[in-house]
Structure 1
Amino acid sequence: MAHTNRIALVTGANKGIGFEIARQLAEAGATVLLGARDADRGRQAAEDLTAEGLSVSSVAIDLNDEASIAAAAKHIEAEHGRLDILVNNAGIVDAEDGPPSGASTAAVRRLMETNFIGTLAVTQSMLPLLRRSEAGRIVNLATTLGSLAINGDPSSPYYSARLIGYNASKAALNMLTVQLAAELKDTRIAVNSVCPGYVKTDLTGNNGFMTPAEGARLPVQYALMEDSTVTGRFVEPDGVTPW
């Protein structure tokens, strides 16, 4: 990227993969805005990284509160004038989610509102700032469970993971990646869905095969990627994932 000091926003960055993405981007020389729904937790996480000598600050942003999203965009514009990297990491699971026959529709609504509509709202608000970048990057944190092909493949180890709300919200997020990448194909902004792998976090109940630091590596790689023609992809650590 031409900008030597990249400005990055990572949503849901006060813990887990988001926190490690923020750390690794800052270690690579970026100025990182650590987005958090809880302002106090965001400030504490930013202070922890600042104590390591990293250029990190916090910004309050709640995917279910468009006023907070708009305020975050205004803050970034006032402080930095542009945005080079947007990592849409924030997302939720819901205990009332489950198979299509029995999942709570309220839970499905919550999941879609946060994981898809909230991410769309953040992206729309940040796009004017990303357009000012010499090489904008949008990384949408994806999951293998968002693949329609894999959900329909009885041979897949993920075939039995029937969470209609969560899986559908992440499939919708992939649609955002596909359509936005096509819309921005003649710009310097690249958009990709990146699955970090099965990571031990609160969201997975601390199950998984990877640490948050390991899970952060692939999203960071795509956030820092030089080639803007690498766009509209759905990737995980083993390679490209079928939509």
Structure 2
Amino acid sequence: MAAESLNNHPIRKNAVVTGGNKGIGYEICRQLMEKGVMVVLTARDEKRGKEAVEKLLREESCYYQQMNLVVFHQVDVVDPQSVSSLVDFIKSKYGKLDILVNNAGVNGLMVEGDVSILPEMIEREAARGLSNTTEEDEAPIKSTGKLIENFGWAEECISTNYYGAKRMIDAFIPLLLLSPSPRVVNVSSLLGKIKLVSNEWAIKALSDGENLTTEKVDEVLNEFLMNFKEDLLKEKGWPNVFSAYKVSKAAMNAYTRIVAQKYSAICINCICPGFAKTDITCNTGPMTPQDAAEGPILLALLPEDGTSGQFFYRKNILTTF
């Protein structure tokens, strides 16, 4: 990008991107830089985060170095002290926050054997998420691999994907409210569609938009984890595949609506960026991280009259959560 283009931003926007050291998060950072946004790339691992910043500066124009368009700050979204340290950094250095992209996440499972099981199941479940029916596809799976889930990974998945994103939003709301056009982008998934949560009580609770509260979301998550620990997922009607991932993303989507209703000044949306080749998908997706980042970038830079409290699939609003 030419210097003249960057100089068209008299009041430069600044952004925080979690999980920015690789995959879609890294691409979101790069594309925000291209738009003249000052990016704080964050990651749990300090070494990997700093290496990602160095890579961005090597790959992009030397002008980005002169303009200081990217810096690293360590953050672990499950650690309140870590998040608080990041907030203090943003407050002291920039005084406000314009864009928060909650991209950090885990899948809550392990693939055993043939990794082609992952794209097969993701594509099947995503198709269910987009369909108008609740019927499960019983088509035989070709792969011989297995998706292994356990309670420890389920806890980590809920803690990272939902409570981590919620912690970031809650912590940054005061600084976001100081921005003339605050934007929050929650990177979600079609697998987080409410109907894929399967449990009828949970679906009803998360679908009740007018009466949705964080307490109700907590109740759903606590019930899910208790049933998981007691090996009652099947008996209680919870998902039998991608269990924790689906529930965690459905909870994130629900919190997106809660924040949108509570803070009209903040434009907040969630988005499924598409099935991309990343570590979380064992590099099996049909899309590149570059293509998948385009949707989150669109939401991060929505105009003044941009929509809020919506669920996007790539660049399109879905009619239901």
TM-score, normalized by length of structure 1?
0.89
- Asked whether the 8 Å contact 2:12–2:36 carries over to 1, the reply is yes
Residue of structure 1 in register with 2:101 after alignment? 87
1:167 aligns with 2:249: no
Residue of structure 2 in register with 1:157 after alignment? none
Distance in 2 (alpha carbons) for counterparts of 1:3 and 1:63: 31
Distance in 2 (alpha carbons) for counterparts of 1:238 and 1:220: 10
Q: Name the % identity.
A: 36
- SS for the counterpart of 1:203 is helix
- SS for the counterpart of 1:230 is coil
User: Deviations for 1:74-107, whole angstroms, at most 9, x for unmatched residues?
Assistant: 0011111111000000001132599xxx942222
Distance in 1 (alpha carbons) for counterparts of 2:315 and 2:96: 33
Residue of structure 2 in register with 1:147 after alignment? 193
Distance in 2 (alpha carbons) for counterparts of 1:105 and 1:43: 32
1:67 aligns with 2:105: no
Distance in 1 (alpha carbons) for counterparts of 2:286 and 2:195: 23
- SS for the counterpart of 2:27 is helix
Distance in 2 (alpha carbons) for counterparts of 1:106 and 1:149: 24
Q: What amino acid is aligned across from residue 39 of structure 1 in structure 2?
A: E
Residue of structure 2 in register with 1:236 after alignment? 313
- SS for the counterpart of 2:293 is helix
Distance in 1 (alpha carbons) for counterparts of 2:169 and 2:44: 16
Distance in 2 (alpha carbons) for counterparts of 1:84 and 1:46: 20
Higher helix share: 2
Distance in 2 (alpha carbons) for counterparts of 1:68 and 1:207: 32
- Asked whether the 8 Å contact 1:96–1:104 carries over to 2, the reply is no
Residue of structure 2 in register with 1:215 after alignment? 292
Cα pair distance change 1:136/1:238, threshold 3 Å = closer
Cα pair distance change 1:59/1:6, threshold 3 Å = same
Aligned equivalent of 2:282, options 196, 201, 205: 205
- Asked whether the 8 Å contact 1:190–1:228 carries over to 2, the reply is no
Aligned equivalent of 1:183, options 256, 262, 266: 262
- SS for the counterpart of 2:279 is coil
> What is the CA RMSD across the aligned residues, in angstroms?
2.1
- SS for the counterpart of 1:68 is helix
| Alpha-carbon offset, residue 64 of structure 1 | 1.6
Aligned equivalent of 2:40, options 33, 38, 45: 33
Distance in 2 (alpha carbons) for counterparts of 1:237 and 1:225: 14
| Alpha-carbon offset, residue 239 of structure 1 | 2.4
Aligned equivalent of 1:119, options 150, 162, 165: 165
Distance in 2 (alpha carbons) for counterparts of 1:220 and 1:229: 13
| Alpha-carbon offset, residue 150 of structure 1 | 5.2
Residue of structure 2 in register with 1:21 after alignment? 28
Distance in 1 (alpha carbons) for counterparts of 2:189 and 2:293: 13
| Alpha-carbon offset, residue 238 of structure 1 | 6.4
- Asked whether the 8 Å contact 2:108–2:149 carries over to 1, the reply is no
Deviates more, 1:230-239 or 1:195-204: 230-239
Q: How many residue pairs end up in the alignment?
A: 230
Unaligned runs of 5+ in 1: 153-159
| Alpha-carbon offset, residue 228 of structure 1 | 4.3
